[in-house]
Structure 1
Amino acid sequence: MTSTPSTPSTPSATARVAPQPRRSALGAMTANESRLLLREPGLVVWAVLIPVVADVVLALVPATRTASADLGGWSFSQVYLPVLVLFTASLLTVQGMPTILAQYRTDGVLKRLRTTPVSPAVLLGAVMISLGAVTLVVAVAMVAIPTVLGNPPPGNVLAFALVTVLSLGAFLSIGGLVSALATNPRMATGVGTVLTFVLWFFAGMWVPRSVFPELLARIADLTPSGAASGAMLDALHGSWPSLAQLAVLLAWTVVPAAVAARAFRWE
């Protein structure tokens, strides 16, 4: 009576299995951070519901879709679409991320992770992925909703998407820098809040960029929110961002990220 030999495992199968724990750790961390984010009603309301509701209201009011000479030939709805997108991005990344990471540092979460196979860098990546994903989903919704309600879509959708991703990268870098330098949650929240309001101003939240004095407009163009807002407005009319706008966004992505990488402390 013969027995059926067992099939030996091959090196190729082992090689395919080996990388899985790292990917699953990042995936599990990202899913957990996403759940925790959804349990923050204040942040969800301010970063998601308010801009989306404002976007719907602007899309439903016919007067906001009419071009105005006082706004540089733009309509009120066009002027505020980039502002609303940047509102969500900055609130989640520049204000929200430093507060989350500072609290983790204070509670010793990052220190304890250093003794486990899951490095603190995985948690940092999970926080950035979850916040970035929410930002992009809200941005897509705020572009799609007016289109569904009868407003014209951006003349250059690809350019608008490119600027949204670049501005998100710049805001994540700034948020990472604040996370690296803030020593406690109170400081992280305070610094992040001040920077967020500055970014909102240069994006044109309270005063449209089209009525900025020349000097203030030039300063705004050197900020990530000002460059992104201007490039998004150009994309709405079918243009691509200028090289200067791209350079500003890339600079605000690379420089803060480099400084944060050197200054960041897990404890």
Structure 2
Amino acid sequence: MNVLYRLTATETKLFFREPTAVFFVLAFPSLLLVILGFVPPFREPNPDIGGLRVIDLYAPIVITMAVGLLSLNMLPQLFAAYREKGILRRMATTPVRPSALLGAQLAMAVTLSVGSALLILAVARLGFDVALPDNLAVYLLMYVLCLLAMLTLGLLIGSLAPTAKGAAAIGSILFFPVVFFAGLWLPREQMPEVLRRISDFTPLGAGVQSLQDATAGHWPQLLHVAVMLGWTIVAGALAARYFRWE
């Protein structure tokens, strides 16, 4: 545990030395929500989505987008850069085990993601009067499941990609379709049935719907819980299996 704590603290300090990464992980999602909130029709009740406002739908979408940015763009590139620069090779000569390194990366990413989500919720509530979750415990649980599913996917990319550029390319290729099915361009409620069904089987699509259900005070659908657990188990097992120090 001492090794895990030290690794996590070190990785977090290194992260905050990169202004670009700090901006896109912590500030950009909240800024995007502010921009969307300034669109007048998005602040008006829409009968096509049950009387909700579009900005109400975008709060969980932006939260999951922030998870995607961290998991698919920042984490794999950082991990692959360590391998490319020989940092992982040097760590392999120490008592540090792969599980400790993976755990430290996950702990850092979880901390940053929670901070980003809290900031988004604060902006949504204070700036646009978006309702806070009625079922907070379920909301937190679904957020954690969505986060774990995406982080393990990011670790899988980082475990396989030989270079930072390769990890960035793979992460970017995956990021855009994943956030599309999360509803960033078109909320799930306004998607055609075929697109919404595909979205149900993506980690962010399942995550968004689960967060929306918890916000309304409902329990999430078992399908969406199973999808997030499935992505976590499969991607996590593959990341641990194919992890390479160099």
- Give TM-score scaled by structure 2 length: 0.91
The CA RMSD measured in Å over matched residues stands at 1.9
Contact in 2 for aligned 1:71/1:208 (Cα 8 Å): no
Partner of 1:171: 150
| 1:79-102 deviations in Å (ceiling 9; x for gaps) | 111111111111111221111111
| 1:121-144 deviations in Å (ceiling 9; x for gaps) | 323221221111110121122223
Consecutive unaligned residues of structure 1, counting only runs of 5 or more, are 1-22
Contact in 1 for aligned 2:33/2:59 (Cα 8 Å): yes
Consecutive unaligned residues of structure 2, counting only runs of 5 or more, are none
Partner of 2:188: 209
Partner of 1:187: 166
Partner of 1:247: 226
Partner of 1:3: none
Contact in 1 for aligned 2:56/2:131 (Cα 8 Å): no
Task: Give secondary structure in 1 for the equivalent of 2:220.
Answer: coil
The residue type equivalent to 2:141 in the other structure is L
Matched, 1:198 2:173: no
Q: Which of 5, 12, 28 is the aligned partner of 1:50?
A: 28
Matched, 1:104 2:90: no
The structure whose RCO (Cα within 8 Å, separation 6+) is larger is: 2
Q: Which of 3, 19, 22 is the aligned partner of 1:41?
A: 19
Ranges of 4+ aligned residues in structure 1 off by more than 4 Å: 56-63
Partner of 1:123: 101
Contact in 2 for aligned 1:72/1:210 (Cα 8 Å): no
| 1:224-239 mapped onto 2 (5 Å cutoff) | 224-239=203-218
Pair 1:79–1:73, CA change in 2 (3 A): same
Partner of 1:84: 62
CA distance in 1: counterparts of 2:94 and 2:122, whole angstroms:
43
Residue 57 of structure 1: how far off its partner (Å):
5.5
CA distance in 2: counterparts of 1:165 and 1:212, whole angstroms:
25
Contact in 2 for aligned 1:78/1:233 (Cα 8 Å): no
Identity %: 38
Contact in 1 for aligned 2:4/2:104 (Cα 8 Å): yes
Residue 62 of structure 1: how far off its partner (Å):
7.6
CA distance in 2: counterparts of 1:71 and 1:45, whole angstroms:
32
Partner of 2:3: 25
Task: Give secondary structure in 2 for the equivalent of 1:103.
Answer: helix
CA distance in 1: counterparts of 2:206 and 2:147, whole angstroms:
12
The residue type equivalent to 2:21 in the other structure is L
The number of aligned residues is: 245
CA distance in 2: counterparts of 1:152 and 1:103, whole angstroms:
40
Q: Which of 139, 148, 154 is the aligned partner of 1:160?
A: 139
- Give TM-score scaled by structure 1 length: 0.85
The residue type equivalent to 1:184 in the other structure is T
Q: Decide which structure has the larger Cα Rg and report it.
A: 1
Residue 69 of structure 1: how far off its partner (Å):
2.4
CA distance in 2: counterparts of 1:86 and 1:118, whole angstroms:
32
